[in-house]
Structure 1
Amino acid sequence: MKLILRTIATVFAVVMVPALTHAETKSPNVLIVMADDCTYNDLPMYGGQNAKTPNLDRLAKEGMTFDRAFLAEAICQPCRAELYSGLYPMRNGCNWNHSASRGDIESMPQHISRAGYRVGLAGKVHVSPDSAFPFEKVDGCDKNCVRNPTREMELDSIREFMARDEDQPFCLVVALVEPHVPWVMGDASAYPPRKLKLPPNIGDTPETRSAFGRYLAEITYMDDQFGQIVRELNAVGKSEDTLVLFTSEQGSQFPGNKWTNYNTGVHTGLIVKWPGVVKPGTRTDALVQYADVLPTLMDVVGAKSQTDTFDGSTFASVLRGESDAHREYAYGTHNNVPEGPSYPIRSITDGRYHYIRNLKNENLYIEKHLMGIKGRGELNNKYWQTWVFQSFEQPEILRLIQRYQLRPSEELYDLTNDPYEMTNLIDDASLAGVREELGQELDRWMESQGDPGAAQDTTESLRAAKRGEHRFGVGTDR
C-alpha cells in the first residue's frame, strides 16, 4: 500500500511540475500600477472601513498581499526614485521633493531592458534627470497630479504598448494621479460625511469629514482606472503571462501621513499577482521595501546584476512561496525642505516595532501645503484651520495638533497593536532592548549611506542636488 501511495505521489509531482516550471521559465510581462498619495490602511484589504475598491479586492483574491511593505521617504519624488532605482534616497540622490537623483545612476529602464524587455511609463513621471530614468513615454494617463479635473484616461497607447510585439516581453509602469489632491474626481456622494469612520489620527470636524469623503471618492475612481487597465491586459491576451504589481505609494495628504515617517506615511500597500507562481488569496508578513522591487523584477525576468548594484534585494522567493521572510529591517528618512522649514527625521522598523528619531525636534514642524493657504487654496487643506479653531473645545484635536507639530526627539511604536501610532513607548523600560537595537541599526544604516543627518535637510543641499552636485552620500561606482 505504501509503495502504491509513493507511486501516486511521484506521478502527481511529475504532472504538476511542468506547469509551474513553464510559468517561471517563460519571461513574464510586468505591469506595475501606482496610486498617488493613498494611505495603505484606507484600503479594504488592509482594514479600511470606508473605501469601495472592487477591482483591487479582486487582485488581492488572485494574488499575494504584503502586510509589511515600506518605502524610505513618504514624498512623491523620493519614493518613486527609490522604486525605480532599487537605491535608497541617499544613494540615488533624491532626498527631497522637486529635486534630482544623481546623473550617474541606472534605473528600471536600463536594467530591465538588458533582459530584452521594452520598458515604458504612462502617467505621472516625477523623477529626474531623464538620463537616469529613460523610460519610453506612453500616453493615455494624466501626468499632472494637481490638474483640476484630472484628464480622462485613454487606453489606446497603453493597449498598443502591451500588444506591440508578441516576441518581446514588456515592463510597463502606469502611474496614476489619484487620490492626490485636489480631491475632485469620483462620486463623493457615495461617501456621506456623517457616515464615515475616521481614523484616530484625523481630527473630527465637518470640514475634515467632507474632505475625507472626497478623498475616498478618488480612491474608488483610482480603483476603476486600475480595473480598466487590467481589462486591457486581458483583451490583448497577456493576463496569464503577466506579473501585476499594485502599490498605493505613500500616505494621503492628511496630518501624520504624507511628509512624515509615521506608519501611515511610509507603510505602503503592495499586492502582487503572478499566474502559475503566486498562490491566489495569500498574505505575507515578509518585510519588504521599495528598494527591493527592482531587484525582485530582475530575478523574475532572469536579468543578471552584481550584488552591490542595489540597496534592496530580491523577494522572489516570497512570491514563489519558498520563504515567508525577507529583510530584517526597513529604513526611513525625511527631509522637509522645500515643503517647509528644516525638520529632518530618520526611522527604522523590524516590522513589529517602529523607532523614529526627530533630529531637530526643537523646531516646530510645519508643512506648507497642509497648514498654509496660497492663492485660492485649491491644493491646501483648509480643514486644518478648523482643527485649530476647535482645539479648545475638542481636547482630542489639540492632542493631534501637538502630535503633528511638537514631537519628542525619539519615538517608539508597536505597529501590531497601534498601527496609527497614538501611544509613544519610548520610555517603556520593558522595550529598552528594542530601542537600543533599532537605534544602533539606524546609526549603522545612516553611516553606510553617507547620511549626515540634519545637514542634508537644507536649502543648500537641495540646490546642489538640482545642479547635479550632491553634497553628501556614497557614490554609485559601476
Structure 2
Amino acid sequence: MQLTRTAICKSLLILLIFGSAVSVFAQSKSAKKPNVIIIMADDLDSRQLSCYGGQNLQTRNIDALATEGLKFNQIYTSEAMCVPTRASLFTGLYPVRHGSFQNHKPVYDNLKSVGHYLADQGYRVGLTGKDHVTKPKTVFPFEIVKGFEPNCVAPTDDYELDDVKKYITRDSQPYCLFVMSINPHAPWTVGDTTEFDADKLILPKNWVDTKITRRQFVKYLAEVRRLDNQVGDITRLLKETGQDKNTIVVFLGEQGAQFPGAKWNLWDVGQKSSMLVKWSGSVKPGTQTDALVQYEDITPTLIDIAGGKPIAGLDGKTFLPVLLGKSTKAREYAYGIHNNIPEGNPYPIRSIRDTRYKLILNLTPDKDYYNRFMMNPEQKDRNSVWFSWANQATSDPNAKRITERFVKRPAIEFYDTQADPWEFNNLATNPAYQDRIKQYQQKLDDWMKQQGDTGAALDIIYAKKKE
C-alpha cells in the first residue's frame, strides 16, 4: 500500500518530535549536578591572605582560587568563635535559633542541616577534619571521611588524601565534602617558622608591638602557610582525578585569630571573614564582590545550586545570583552576637552593619571584658601576648590606649568601617550620626526580638546536656 505524501509528512513529524523528546531526556539525564568542595580554615586572620592585601606571606594556592573565581569582600560570621560559626554554616540559622549561642554549647537536637537538605537533592555529604560540630548525628548526618586532623588543639596536623580521593571518585553521585583544616588554630606548633623574620613582620594596627607578640605571630603565620599548602593539595587532587571539571571549590576563612581584639569579639578583625568561590563555566574568573553575606547564607545557597526549593524558616538567604553575576547585592544588614561564657565572665555584645557603617552594643559596659584564653593571670606563660601588652602599657601611651579599649568598653560603638577599618574612631557621640545610630539600634532590636534573643539574660551558665 503506497503512503500518501501527507501520511509520510505526518510520520516524519512524529519521529522528529519523538526524537527531540528523547534527546532532551538524555541531555537532562546526563546533566550532572555540580560537586562541591568547601575548604574551611580555623581562626584565620583573613587580612593575612595576600589576595586580601596581606603582606607577610604569599598564599599562592588560596590566591589561585581568587584568580580563577569570585572573591567576597564583605562576608561575616555572626559569632566570632568556632562552634557557633560552624553551626550557622551547617544549619542556615543564627546562633540563638540553632542553640549554640555560646562556644561549645550544643545545637538543639530537633534541627536539620545541610546534610539533610543536600541529601534530599541526591547528594552525598561528607566531612573530613575538625569535627566540633557533627553531633548529634541526627542533626549532622555527615559521612565522616578520614584524612584530616579532627582535633583543633592537636600538636600536629598530619593528613593524608587517600580517603578523600576514594570519597570524591567513589561513584557518579554528586557530593559535597567539607574539608575542615585545623590551621591556623592555637597552639601554633606546626609549620616552618624559618620562613619568617619576626623583626620584619607587618603587625595588625590594633596590636601592641612586643617581642613576644612577634614571636607568636611567626608561629601563627607558619600555620597559615600550612593551610595554604593544604588548599593546594586539595585543588591538585581535583585536577589529577578530573573532578575539577564539575566541582565548585569554596574557601572559607572562619573567624579571626586568637589574638586580643579578634576572636571572641565583634570588631571586624574577629567577625570579618573571607570567601572565594571557583565554579568553572558559571562564576567569572578574577572577579570580586562587595555583596554583604553571612555564614548563615551558605547552606541556602548550596540548596539553590543543587536545584532545591528554599527551606522555610531559615535565617540565611541564597546568594546564587551574586555568584552568577546577575546581582551585586545579597542582604542589607549583617548581624553579630557574642556571649562570653564559658570563655570568660558574662560580657554580652550585639552588632549590626551594612557594607560601611557598624553599630556595636556592649550590654554590660559597667563591667570589664575578660577572656580566660588570653588574659588569665594564673597562666601567664600561655597568655604571654596579652601580658606583654599590659606590661608595655605602663610606659607606652599607644599600648595603654589599645589595652584599655579592650578591657573597658562603652555602651555604644559606631564606626565608619570604610574610613576607619580598624574601628579606632568611635562615632557614637558625634551629632552627625545620631539619626543613623537610632535607625540601626531599632533594626538590631527588631532582629533580637525576631530571634528570641533576650540580650544580657542569655549570657549565663547552662546545665550541661546529658549524652
User: Which TM-score applies when normalising by structure 1?
Assistant: 0.89
Q: Give 2:454's aligned amino acid.
A: P
Paired position in structure 2 for 1:143: 150
Q: 1:381, 1:192 → 2: CA distance? A: 22
Correspondences of 1:334-353 after superposition (within 5 Å):
334-353=338-357
Structure 2 equivalent of residue 158 of structure 1: 164
Equivalence for 2:245 = 240
Whole-angstrom distance in 2 between the partners of 1:373 and 1:249:
28
Query: Deviation per CA, 1:367-396, whole angstroms, max 9, x where unpaired?
Result: 00011266795xx33121111111122111
CA-atom RMSD, angstroms?
A: 1.8
Aligned to 2:88: 82
Distance in 2 of aligned mates of 1:356 and 1:419: 14
**Selected match of 1:28 from 31, 34, 37:** 34
| Distance in 2 of aligned mates of 1:373 and 1:25 | 60
Secondary structure at the counterpart of residue 327 of structure 2: coil
Distance 2:431 2:50 in 1: 35
Are the structure 2 counterparts of residues 344 and 467 from structure 1 closer, same or farther at C-alpha, using a change threshold of 3 Å? farther
Aligned mates of 2:389, 2:316 — CA distance in 1: 40
Report the 3-state secondary structure (helix = DSSP H, G, I; strand = E; otherwise coil) of the residue aligned with 1:280.
coil
Aligned to 1:120: 126
Contact 2:380 2:387 in 1 (8 A): no
1:355 and 1:188 mapped to 2: Cα distance? 38
Query: For residues 192 and 447 of structure 1, do their structure 2 counterparts lie closer, same or farther at Cα, with a shift above 3 Å needed?
Result: same
> CA offsets per residue over residues 130-187 of structure 1, 9 Å max, x none?
3211111011000111111x23111011111111112x00100000000000112111
In structure 1, what is the equivalent of residue 18 of structure 2?
none
1:8-407 maps to which residues of 2 (within 5 A)? 26-127=32-133, 128-148=135-155, 150-166=156-172, 168-306=173-311, 308-372=312-376, 377=381, 380-407=382-409
Residues 374/226 of structure 1: CA separation in 2 closer, same or farther (3 Å cut): farther
Tell me, in whole angstroms, the C-alpha distance in 2 between the residues paired with 1:68 and 1:338. 29
State, as a whole percentage, how many aligned pairs show the same letter: 45
Alignment of 1:450-469 (within 5 A): 450-459=452-461, 462-463=462-463, 466=465
CA contact (8 A) 2:32 2:174 kept: no
Q: Equivalents in 1 of 2:198, 2:341: separation in Å? A: 34
Q: CA deviation at 1:129?
A: 2.4
Partner secondary structure for residue 396 of structure 1: helix
Q: Distance in 1 between matches of 2:157 and 2:46?
A: 25
Contact 1:373/1:382, CA 8 A, preserved across alignment: no
Alignment check: 8 A CA contact 1:344 1:358 kept: yes
Q: Distance in 1 between matches of 2:310 and 2:64?
A: 34
The separation in 1 between residues aligned to 2:323 and 2:143, in whole angstroms, is: 27
Please give the secondary structure, in 1, of the residue aligned with 2:463.
helix
Q: Distance in 2 between matches of 1:297 and 1:305?
A: 10
Match of 1:419 in 2: 421
Answer whether contact 2:333 2:354 (CA < 8 A) is retained: yes
Distance in 1 (alpha carbons) for counterparts of 2:313 and 2:247: 25
Question: Structure 1: how far apart are the matches of 2:450 and 2:125?
Answer: 31
- Give the drift of 1:51: 2.7
Deviations for 1:79-113, whole angstroms, at most 9, x for unmatched residues?
00000000000111110111100001100111111
Q: 1:356 to 1:245 in 2, by over 3 A?
A: same
Counterpart of 2:270 in 1: which secondary structure? helix
What is the CA–CA distance in structure 2 between the aligned matches of 1:175 and 1:98, rounded to whole Å? 17
Greater Rg by CA: 2
- Which runs of no fewer than 5 residues in structure 2 stay unpaired? 1-26
Partner of 2:5: none
Q: 1:467, CA displacement in angstroms? A: 5.2
* Aligned residue in 2 for 1:438: 440
Paired amino acid for 1:438? Y
Displacement, 1:231?
1.0
Aligned twin of 2:24: none
Q: Out of 447, 450, 463, which is 1:448 matched to?
A: 450
How many angstroms apart in 2 are the aligned matches of 1:55 and 1:444? 42
The aligned counterpart of 1:474 is none
Structure 1 pair 35–102 and aligned structure 2 pair: CA distance change class (3 A):
same
Cα pair distance change 1:417/1:376, threshold 3 Å: closer
Is the 2:74–2:293 Cα contact (8 Å) retained in structure 1?
yes
SS in 2 for 1:370: coil
In the alignment, the residues of structure 2 paired with residue 220 and residue 196 of structure 1 have an alpha-carbon distance, to the nearest angstrom, of 15
SS at match of 1:411: strand
User: Deviation at 1:40?
Assistant: 1.7
Distance 2:90 2:463 in 1: 23
Q: Give the partner amino acid of 1:193.
A: A
